[in-house]
Amino acid sequence: MQITTAGRTKILAERRRVERLSRIRQFLFGSMDGLLVPLGVVSGVAGGTGSVKAVVVAGLAEAFAGALSMGAGEFLSGKAEAQLHQAEIREELESIRENPEYELEELALLLEHEGVERSNARVIAHKLQESPKAFIRTMVEKELGLNPEPKTARISEGVTTGLSYFATSIVPLGPYFFLPIPAAFPTSMVLTLLLLIAIGVTRGAVARVGVIASALEVLAIGVLTGGGGYLLGSLLPRAFGY
């Protein structure tokens, strides 16, 4: 069966499609922290001080600082990882140039390890060696388990993480702008729990796993974090005589 032009375009675009879906990691990372850390902060401050003004100031400060820190952290960690991968790939390329026969044997061994018969593995390795680009890509993927073309610029990942953090951090803080603490606290908890459920459902749908189990897992983590923050904020001041 011959592949049509549209089919060829779709096949070649699959890697980019998966890369876009993989952005769910940054979204979840930023969103979960953006909900749970501010929830712990505002709940703790609310329980410890009883001051709406203190809660709002602490919440806003944490939201801005957290978003910047998370975004920068994602960018720098991603860039460092990509630079490490590039260094490993450069060493592999140098080894291919200096010891082509040894690398040929390595590829045959790797293919054999994946279930290809030894005689066929050597034939495939020789055929790939006739196309240097294909040989290099295969060696990098099979031996190092890396993308042959790692990205160093991770600005979009950092922006996704930072914006997700800031956007979701408004949810646990929002009720304190309009309500007194006795009403704002349960409202903040309910809104946060509802968004946690939505995040869990989204995670389950994108990852193609059970959405109910995913939502319950995320919800359980949120309850433990928010409740723990409130209890600590209430108990620690008393323990220190405040």
Residue 45's closest CA among 182, 177, 223, 230? 230
Residue 146's closest CA among 82, 67, 198? 82
Lowest mean pLDDT among 45-49, 86-90, 150-154, 158-162: 150-154
Q: What is the reported pLDDT for 105?
A: 84
Q: What is the reported pLDDT for 122?
A: 83
Residue spans per domain, the chain: 22-234
- Determine the average pLDDT of the residues in 37-47: 77
pTM above 0.75, yes or no: no
- Determine the average pLDDT of the residues in 86-107: 83
**Banded model confidence at residue 210, pLDDT cuts 50, 70, 90:** confident
Q: What is the reported pLDDT for 232?
A: 64
Secondary structure of 52-121 as H, E, C letters: HHHHHHHHHHHHHHHHHHHHHHHHHHHHHHHHHHHHHHHHHHHHHHHCHHHHHHHHHHHHHHCCCCHHHH
Tokens representing 46? Answer: 């609310």
Q: What is the reported pLDDT for 85?
A: 81
Q: DSSP assignment of the chain, as one string?
A: -PPPHHHHHHHHHHHHHHHHHTTHHHHHHHHHHHHHHHHHHHHHHHHHH--HHHHHHHHHHHHHHHHHHHHHHHHHHHHHHHHHHHHHHHHHHHHHHH-HHHHHHHHHHHHHHTT--HHHHHHHHHHHHTSHHHHHHHHIIIII---SS-----HHHHHHHHHHHHHHHHHHHTHHHHS-HHHHHHHHHHHHHHHHHHHHHHHHHHHTS-HHHHHHHHHHHHHHHHHHHHHHHHHHHHHTT-
Q: What is the reported pLDDT for 227?
A: 65
- Determine the average pLDDT of the residues in 156-183: 85
Residues 6+ apart with CB under 8 A from 178: 184
